[in-house]
Every structure is written in C-alpha cells, then in structure tokens.
C-alpha cells in the first residue's frame, strides 16, 4: 500500500490562508503591538549611537576613546546599511526553510542579545558585537514582518490593506517617537547601560507580543518548491536553465542526492525566483528601488549629520532645552500628524488634478526629498558665520523630509507587496530594503572619502548638504521616464474556500 506523505496527513495547526471576511484580520493587533515595541527598541538605541560614539565610547582600559564626527557617521551608516542588507538573508530563510512566523520569532531572540551587548560593554568591541547582532536580528525579521501584514488579507478584505499599512507605519512611528524622547534622557541621566538596556527590555516585550498572536495569524506556508517554480518557470529565454540542472535540483530536493538533501519545498522557491514572473518582478522593481536609494542616503542622516548639526545650534525652544539626540523625535511625531493629512486631504486634492498612482506618489516624494537639505545647508551657513540659529528651524527640514518619507516609504511598502508574486512576498520586501542599505552605504562611503587625515572634511560646512541636494535632484528627474514605462501587475493572496 502506498504511503501518504506525513505533511499531507497531518492537520494544520494554524490558518494557512486568509478566511473570507470583510473585517480586519484578528492577528493585526498583535502585529501592530509587536512592531511598536520593536521600533521603540531599534530607534531608541539608534538615536543615541552617534552621540555615544563621539562622546562616551571607551577603550579596553576604560578610558574615553571617542570617534571623530566622520568616523561616527561612517560606522553609523555602515550599521544601517547592514540592517537593511540582511533582510535578503531573512527572506530566503523564511521563504525556503522556516516560514515567516518561526523566522521572526527565532531571530527576535538573537536581536535581544544585541541590545544587552551594547548595555554591558562600552568599548569598540562591545559596540561591534552589539551592532552586528542587532543588524542580523533586525534585518532578518524585517521583510517577514512587513510581508506578514499583507498575508493576513484575501480578496474579500484586500481594500483594507492600504489602511493597515498606514496603521503599521503609525505603530512604527509611535514607538519611535516615544523612544526618541525617552532614551536620550536615560542616556543623559543614567548613562549607556540603562539607555541601551531599556530598548533591550522592549525588544523582549515585542517578541512576547508576537508569540501571543500565533493562533490568530494566517501562516502562509513557506514557498519551497513553489517559490522556485515561480522564480524559474516561464517563457523568458534569457532565464532558461539547462534541463540537467533542474533534474539535479529535483534529485536533491527529493532526497535522491543524499549528500545535498534539501526540503522539497525549497525547489519551488528557487524556481519562482529565477524564471518567469519571479525574475520579471525582481527586475522591474529593482529599477524602481535603485532610484529610491538616494532618498535613504539623505533620510537616515537625521540620526547622524543632523544630530551633529543640532549640537551647534541654540537648543532652547518651546520653553525646553532639547538634547541634540532628541530633536529626531520630530520625525515620528510628524508622521503621526501627516499620515491622516495625506490620506484624507493632500492625496484626494491631488487626485482631483491628476490620477495619483503609487509611482506618481514616489516621484513626487523624490522631488520633495532634496528640499530639507537645502534647509540644512542654510542653517550650516549661519553656523559657519558664527551664529547659533534656533533649533526650531529644523522643524521645517523635518516637515519636508517627513512629507517625502510618506510619499516614498509608505508607498513603496504597499507597492512592493502588491507587485510581488504570491510566494515571494518576503523576498521582494527584502529587495526593497536593499535600497535602504545601498543608500546608507553610499553615505558611509562619502563620509569615509571626504575625511582628511587631520579629521577635517573635504566637504566642509554647507557644501556637504548641497552635495546631497544635487544627488537627490538628479535622481528625481531621472525617475520620471522610468515610472512612466513601468508595467504594473498586482498579486493578492488567495482566500481559503468558504465552508459549506
């Protein structure tokens, strides 16, 4: 008698497809709670990193051994670049091997240890270990978390996806806003042990919140064999794979090649990536992401060059003396205010003038993105002339940068999910996040190149900011013809059959 494979016989422990419903999925509150706490942890530690490296870093002997401004910016942007490079690894682990749920849960635990490394060891060794653990933990779970949001929806309630991604971004910025105000105060009053330890505690809480939602989530099965088919199957001649190679893969995944036995489901994952819809989707979206990368080169300098600029400004504003590491809280605060404004006022108003597609939103965001660095350049000119402009002037820069973020980042999240084939959601999200990695790598390289041997900069004063204004302006102009030619194709998860 033929044996029935165990995986077919066993009863599914969790939902594996969205249930037909016009309501909000039951797992969304757990996802949003997890995201708010995790973002508190990440942004709380991130906002004090450059200050920590330039003021509080110690040598192995315990003596102060701070970095120069350019060194700290290089370290910071390499760290952020690594955070957004490792999602590619996370997507592969998730879609081939572990699935989204286990990938998020297991690497969240590793993530927690990174914060405690920073809290306990204040030398460059402790800094390096902590940042590596955080980069791997945060990066690996990142595409799975954002794709997991979309996985909760089917055809019946797909109209709610856009709203939930806005609330998802709201949760990110609620956690970031609170931590951007609180963690710098903890650093000022209690030092780096407490300032890095508290975010670690919040990451533990985030992990627990996600685990508690396990029975509410839709657990889309790992792509495995189907993922490979979606990537490698199709008619595109430029992605033709020799039949012998496919036969070998089949033997490996079926267990006939014992030295290289891989779960059969993984073959589907590989096929989906490299032929047909998979490679087509990756190729088309990668072009868009290449133009989004310069936006991140500017955006993530809120925690580096803008923080260093804030140290030289008059920080008495609104009856409060702001710490230079706290002013970044303006970004998440403005997100909380401007998301509803864009959703219910600005976007509808623009729609009356011309149809506002996702790509047009991104294009408008890129056009706006250079303007905040014009503000920074003008502030730096005043500082160079001996002035101490009020930190209130940075509000304008944050308002412009946050507006660009809403048009570029939120739209890219939603657009990436809808343009990704069904079993490649995490992988496509990881490719999108590579744009952030590329942008930060560019900034790190620029800062490494412009540093002179004596610690001064080749792009001194306002010239540094004008350089990035030029980069962003050229990028925005080149994006226009690319967006016009992009062929949009949406992919939404199938729903479970309605019970009789």
The neighbour count for residue 488, using CB atoms within 10 Å, is: 11
pLDDT digits (tens, 9 = 90+) for 316-351: 998 899 999 999 999 999 988 898 899 889 999 998
Top-ranked range on mean pLDDT: pick from 152-166, 360-374, 450-464: 360-374
pLDDT digits (tens, 9 = 90+) for 176-209: 999 999 999 999 999 999 999 999 999 999 999 9
Residue 154 φ/ψ region, left for φ over 0, alpha for ψ in the -120 to 50 degree band, beta for the rest: beta
What is d(CA 358, CA 213) in angstroms, rounded to the nearest whole number?
Answer: 31
Residue 386 φ/ψ region, left for φ over 0, alpha for ψ in the -120 to 50 degree band, beta for the rest: left
Residue 47 has pLDDT above 60, yes or no: yes
pLDDT top residue among 73 and 5: 73
Break the chain into its structural domains and give their ranges: 26-224+271-484, 225-270
Q: How would residue 15 be classed by pLDDT, with cut points 50, 70 and 90?
A: low
101-105, 182-186, 340-344, 427-431: which range is least confident on average?
Answer: 427-431
DSSP 3-state of 451? strand
Residue 74 in tokens: 């290089």
Nearest to 118 by CA among 64, 179, 46: 46
CATH of domain 26-224+271-484: 1.20.1250.20
DSSP, residue by residue, 171-234: HHHHHHHHHHHHHHHHHHHH-HHHHHHHHHHHHHHHHHHHHHTTTTSB-PPP-HHHHHHHHH-S
Bridge partners for 316 per DSSP: 321
pLDDT top residue among 260 and 365: 365
What integer pLDDT is reported at residue 255 of this predicted model? Answer: 45
Hey, what's the torsion of the CAs at 139, 144, 146, 148, to 10 degrees?
-160
Q: How would residue 149 be classed by pLDDT, with cut points 50, 70 and 90?
A: confident
Share of the chain above pLDDT 70, in %: 81
**Contact indicator for 472, 294 with CB cutoff of 8 Å:** yes
Q: How far are the Cα atoms of 9, 473, 496, 497 from residue 500, in angstroms, in the given order?
A: 22, 58, 12, 9
What is d(CA 321, CA 55) in angstroms, rounded to the nearest whole number?
Answer: 19
The neighbour count for residue 60, using CB atoms within 10 Å, is: 11
């Amino acid at each position: 008698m033929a044996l029935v494979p165990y995986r077919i016989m066993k009863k599914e422990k969790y939902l594996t497809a969205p249930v037909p419903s016009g309501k909000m999925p039951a797992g969304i509150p757990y996802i949003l709670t997890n995201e708010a706490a995790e973002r508190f942890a990440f942004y709380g530690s991130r906002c004090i990193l450059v200050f920590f490296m330039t003021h509080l870093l110690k040598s192995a002997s315990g003596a102060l051994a701070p970095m120069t401004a350019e060194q700290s910016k290089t370290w910071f942007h390499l760290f952020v670049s690594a955070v957004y490079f490792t999602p590619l690894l996370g997507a592969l682990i998730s879609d081939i091997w572990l699935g989204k749920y286990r990938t998020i849960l297991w690497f969240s635990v590793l993530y927690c240890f990174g914060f405690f490394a920073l809290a306990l060891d204040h030398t460059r060794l402790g800094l390096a270990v902590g940042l590596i653990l955080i980069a791997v933990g945060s990066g690996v779970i990142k595409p799975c978390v954002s794709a997991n949001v979309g996985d909760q929806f089917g055809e019946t309630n797909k109209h709610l996806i856009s709203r939930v991604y806005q609330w998802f971004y709201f949760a990110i910025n609620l956690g970031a806003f609170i931590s951007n105000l609180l963690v710098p105060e903890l650093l000022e009053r209690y030092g780096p042990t407490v300032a890095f330890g508290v975010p670690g505690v919040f990451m533990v809480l985030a992990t627990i919140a996600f685990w508690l939602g396990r029975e509410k989530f839709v657990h889309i099965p790992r792509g495995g064999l189907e993922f490979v088919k979606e990537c490698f199957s199709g008619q595109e001649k430029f992605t033709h794979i020799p039949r012998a190679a496919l036969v070998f893969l089949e033997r490996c995944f079926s267990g006939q090649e014992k030295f290289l036995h891989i779960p059969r489901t993984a073959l589907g994952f590989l096929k989906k990536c490299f032929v047909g819809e998979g490679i087509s989707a990756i190729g088309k979206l990668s072009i868009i992401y290449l133009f989004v990368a310069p936006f991140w080169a500017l955006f993530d300098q809120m925690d580096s060059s803008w923080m260093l600029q804030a140290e030289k400004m008059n920080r008495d504003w609104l009856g409060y003396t702001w710490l230079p590491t706290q002013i970044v809280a303006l970004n998440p605060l403005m997100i909380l205010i401007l998301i509803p404004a864009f959703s219910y006022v600005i976007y509808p108003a623009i729609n009356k003038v011309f149809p506002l597609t996702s790509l047009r939103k991104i294009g408008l965001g890129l056009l706006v993105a250079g303007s905040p660095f014009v503000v920074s350049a003008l502030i730096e000119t005043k500082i160079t002339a001996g002035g101490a402009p009020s930190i209130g002037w940075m509000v304008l820069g944050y308002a412009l940068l946050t507006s660009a973020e809403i048009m570029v980042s939120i739209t890219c999240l939603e657009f990436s999910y809808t343009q990704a084939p069904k079993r490649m959601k995490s992988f496509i999200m990881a490719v999108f996040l590579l744009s952030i990695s590329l942008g930060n790598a560019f900034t790190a390289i620029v800062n490494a190149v412009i540093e002179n041997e004596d610690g001064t900069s080749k792009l001194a004063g306002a010239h540094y900011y004008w350089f990035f204004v030029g980069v962003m302006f050229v990028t925005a102009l080149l994006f226009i013809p690319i967006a016009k030619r992009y062929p949009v194709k949406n992919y939404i998860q199938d729903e479970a059959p309605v019970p009789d």
